[in-house]
Structures are given as C-alpha cells and as structure tokens.
C-alpha cells in the first residue's frame, strides 16, 4: 500500500509540473526577439554585429542603404532612405535601430 501511495504521489507531482512550463505568455528575457526595433537613443556598448549582419538588420527594417557602413563608438552607422526620406541610421549592440 505504501508503494502505491508513493508511486501515485510521484505521478501527480510530474503531471502537475509539465503544464506550468508550456503556458502561453511566459517571458524569458534571455531570448532576444530577432525583429528589428527602433529606439530613441542607441544603447552604449561594444557591438559584435558584422557589417553584413548590420546591413541585414537595416534591410529587414525596410531601409535602403545609400552609403557604406562604418563602425564608430560601438555603433554601425550609414546613410539610407525609407519612404523617400534620407536618414542616418545607427545600429547598437542590442540590434536596435536609431535614425537621425
């Protein structure tokens, strides 16, 4: 009888833990959303994006580059157009896009 109670308790414990891991709406800040974001000011920090990755981020956000990209103070920078407007773009180490 004791074995039956221990086994039933173990099954109940494992069965109740599984749905908690699959609930919608959980937030994991360690997982970065790959979509480009536009922010008011770029984050300060060392940028590990390559030039090709920066070009891809800008293109994914709908910008057409009009100049060569340069990396200054941890930011990828370049001139681009979007919707007929000429802009200066910046990409920070978090993948956020800032325009001027």
Query: If residue 91 lies in a helix (H) or strand (E), which one and from where to where?
Result: strand 85-91
In tens digits, the chain (100 residues) has pLDDT values of 666 555 566 555 555 555 555 445 455 555 566 666 778 888 888 999 999 999 999 999 999 999 999 999 999 999 999 999 999 999 999 999 999 8
What does the pLDDT read at residue 40? Answer: 83
Q: Per-domain residue ranges for the chain?
A: 35-100
Rounded Cα gap, residues 55 and 61, in angstroms: 10
Q: Which residues contact 39 (CB under 8 A, 6 or more apart)?
A: 92, 96, 97, 98
């Amino acid at each position: 009888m004791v074995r039956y109670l221990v086994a039933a308790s173990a099954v109940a414990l494992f069965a109740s833990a599984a749905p908690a891991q699959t609930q919608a709406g959980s937030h994991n800040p360690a997982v970065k959303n790959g979509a480009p974001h536009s922010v008011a000011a770029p984050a300060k920090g060392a940028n590990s994006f390559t030039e090709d990755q920066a070009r891809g981020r800008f293109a994914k956000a709908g910008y057409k580059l009009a100049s060569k990209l340069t990396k200054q103070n941890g930011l990828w920078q370049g001139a681009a157009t979007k919707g007929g407007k000429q802009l200066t773009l910046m990409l920070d180490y978090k993948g956020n896009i800032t325009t001027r």
